[in-house]
Amino acid sequence: MISPLPPTGEQALLSEEHVPDHAANAVADLQATSGAPSLETGQIERIEGPVLVVWTGSRALRAKRAPACIVAPELRDRVLLAHADGRTYVLAVLEREEEQSPIRLTADGDLRVESTSGRVDVVAAQGASLATRGTLSLRAKALEAKSEVAEMTFSKLRLLGSEVLAEVTRTKLVARAIESVAEVVQQTATRVSRVVTELEHVRVGTLDLAAEKSAMIHAENAVVTAKALVKVDGELVQLG
């Protein structure tokens, strides 16, 4: 047992140099119940909800996890205990038998990590993940993400913005239905190829098709109708 306060008066006479172990344990019990702050170590034997049962080597204590203990204690962990005002608290996890067991930083209630004058970095050698059953929100003046491969899976995606700029080498989109609504659509390309296996409908107010060299329309059956005028003009017109 380690006492943070120097012994005075009768406590100085009851040091480990003058009394046997059972007397030292009696002094520890007296300090734990009288409110004199003291520290000791122990091993967690049971976890009963918010209560941790800790074996100190001579007795079993029922302790409460202190808010300063952010590492969640587990069974057989060696922990640091604090006795004050007749209560026992677990201050920290000192050792863990299973080194491969993940370290969990937990808190009862809301938890906020904040830097008032600097930045916060989270660095992981093998990966990192964020998971919540609620809503995950990101707010920043600028958002930057860099990755060799990115994969996203959504059941529903909604994107709102004033401008979208994408520069890629190749784009491939596969969908059962595509619906686009725009006031102005402008496309510029060197070559355009489109294959429609069944039916294509085009409804426009005015249709203007201009080809610098050749324009060809070929079909098994072709019909051109007009309510008022059909005009074919050229230096040479061949029909049939």
pLDDT of residue 240: 75
Structural domain includes residue 60? yes
Structural domain includes residue 227? no
Structural domain includes residue 24? yes
pLDDT of residue 18: 41
Could you tell me the sign of the dihedral formed by the alpha carbons of 136, 142, 146, 151, in that order? positive
Closest to 23 (Cα-Cα) out of 10, 36, 35: 10
pLDDT of residue 100: 62
Structural domain includes residue 66? yes
Residue 36 belongs to what domain range?
Answer: 10-95
Q: What is the DSSP letter of 2?
A: B
Single-letter code of the amino acid located at 210: A
Print pLDDT tens along the chain (240 aa). Answer: 444 444 444 443 333 334 344 444 444 454 444 556 899 999 999 999 999 999 999 999 999 999 999 999 999 999 999 999 889 999 999 998 876 678 888 888 888 999 999 999 999 999 999 999 999 999 999 999 999 999 999 999 999 999 999 999 999 999 999 999 999 999 999 999 999 999 999 999 999 999 999 999 999 999 999 999 999 888 898 887
Structural domain includes residue 73? yes
Structural domain includes residue 175? no
SS3 state of residue 40: strand
pLDDT of residue 118: 93
In the chain, how many domains are there? Answer: 1
**CATH number, residue 29:** 2.40.50.140
pLDDT of residue 239: 83
Range 23-43 burial, b when 16+ CB lie within 10 A, else e: ebbebbeebbeeebebebbbb
Single-letter code of the amino acid located at 8: T
Structural domain includes residue 102? no
Structural domain includes residue 82? yes
